[in-house]
Amino acid sequence: MNSTFQTSESIKTIAQALMTFRSNVETIKKDGKNPFFRSKYATLSNILNVIANPLENAGLVFSQFPDGENGLTTILIHPESGEFMQSTFDMHIVKNDPQAMGSAITYARRYALGAILGLNIDEDDDGNKATPPQENKPYKANNDDNKPWLNKNTQQFTDAQSAILSGQYTIADIRKKYKVGKEVANLLTQTIDAN
């Protein structure tokens, strides 16, 4: 992931405004549920609701917009002084369609706001759940033996379809949790292609 960060020549006033913001903003509670990974996350609408008044009271505004082919730019502005902080990064989008792009933008907006504003998102581990850390285990010839099979016409299959269609997870992510046979993989791919 490529990223760039820029600021106005001076950031003294915006830094003071950020201190005011951070002293007034609450911890962001995780109100969304990801049924596939059985994890919770802070939704974009919840983040926006929690930060609205503290931003206004601190004299700060922000804007976020798609930039280039797969980029997202977040700019934090102190309108009175004209000072700003801006960050742009390129997202990796697995499937190039409007739904996947929209999901990726929403996902990126949550994390970009959390980063630029220094938000305390209550035990937000959405990224870790999606890509669990590597364990220092001896190599096993067949690691899939410990995973359950993902079968069609089950709740787990429906959850997997939803996770893929939301753009947050790929079939590769699902293979980290389940054994996925050729028929089930084809059904998941057909679901993506149909949308």
Q: What is the pLDDT of residues 52-110, one digit of tens each?
A: 999 999 999 999 998 887 889 999 999 999 999 999 988 777 777 777 788 888 888 98
* Helices and strands: H and E segment counts in the chain: 7, 6
**pLDDT band per the 50, 70, 90 thresholds, residue 126:** very low
* 121 and 140 housed in the same domain: no
Structural domain span for residue 66: 3-129
* 52 and 143 housed in the same domain: no
> Does residue 178 surpass a pLDDT of 90?
no
> Does residue 19 surpass a pLDDT of 90?
yes
Query: In the predicted model, what is the mean pLDDT of residues 21-40?
Result: 81
* 115 and 163 housed in the same domain: no
Q: pLDDT value at position 143?
A: 55
* 148 and 121 housed in the same domain: no
* 99 and 187 housed in the same domain: no
* 67 and 149 housed in the same domain: no
* 174 and 142 housed in the same domain: yes
* 152 and 99 housed in the same domain: no
Structure tokens at 156: 């787990």
Average pLDDT, the chain: 80
Query: Which stretch of DSSP H or E encloses residue 173?
Result: helix 171-177
> Does residue 168 surpass a pLDDT of 80?
no
Phi, psi of 89 (to 5 degrees): -140, 155
Q: Which of 83, 106, 129 is the last residue of a domain?
A: 129
* 105 and 72 housed in the same domain: yes
The number of domains in the chain is 2
Q: pLDDT value at position 131?
A: 46
* 61 and 140 housed in the same domain: no
pTM: 0.61
Most confident of 111-115, 132-136, 146-150, 161-165: 111-115
Q: pLDDT value at position 191?
A: 59
More confident residue, 79 or 192: 79
* 167 and 76 housed in the same domain: no
- Among 29, 32, 28, 27, smallest CA distance to 43 is for 32
Q: Give the separation between CA 138 and CA 143, rounded to whole angstroms.
A: 11
Structure tokens at 41: 């996350």
